[in-house]
Amino acid sequence: MNGGFCGAMWNLQDYDAILFDCDGTLADTMPAHYRAWLAVTEPHGIPFDEDRFYSLGGRPTRDILSTLAGEAGVAIDLDGAAVRKEEVFLSQLEGILPIGPVVEVVRRCHGVVPMAVVTGGYRDVCQRILGRLGLADSFVTIVASEDTARHKPDPEPFLEAAGRLQVRAERCLVWEDSGLGIEAARRAGMHWVDVRSFHTPTRLHTP
């Protein structure tokens, strides 16, 4: 079911809906998110290198904080730290750029096939990112972290989106940039495009 974009062809008539992750898929937000994470983790002495950050892409902020704090044996206010992390991220919003090939797909498909955003982030933050990209009115629905009990790599977020759009899972095409997101799409029985096949986000540190 895999389908890389980079020169590969996919036919719009093969799908009844298209589902997009937000961060790192529609918007080149990952460096800004990592800077925001460092603003929260470093004061607590919690290690969080960039490779680990990318490996956790798609998981909700509070879940990541809980995991990292538990591993480091540090007690933190999870809700307060999550709010702080999103505040630092949003302070960088004006510098966020679209990922051109993916946004082009959205513009081409708007009004032709139903589309949804399926994000591990918070709804209000996602809406602000979409507004920044000029895509606020492009999607029928947004499935955010607060909308499902389970999150990527569990298929529930994608299945929730398919249900809202009233389409069968196997008739959905997912655009994703993380291993967890692609695993969720696979488990949902959906086709997918791996954005990493044609887009590499800027990293703060060279691996």
Give residue for tokens 């591990």: 120
In 3-state terms, what secondary structure has residue 165? helix
Count the Cβ atoms, other than its own, within 10 Å of residue 95: 11
Measured between alpha carbons, how far is 16 from 98 in angstroms, rounded to an integer? 24
Measured between alpha carbons, how far is 81 from 71 in angstroms, rounded to an integer? 16
117: which DSSP letter?
E
In 3-state terms, what secondary structure has residue 137? coil
Q: Which two tokens stand for residue 107?
A: 């513009």
Contact 122, 146 (CB under 8 A): yes
Residues acting as catalytic residues: 21
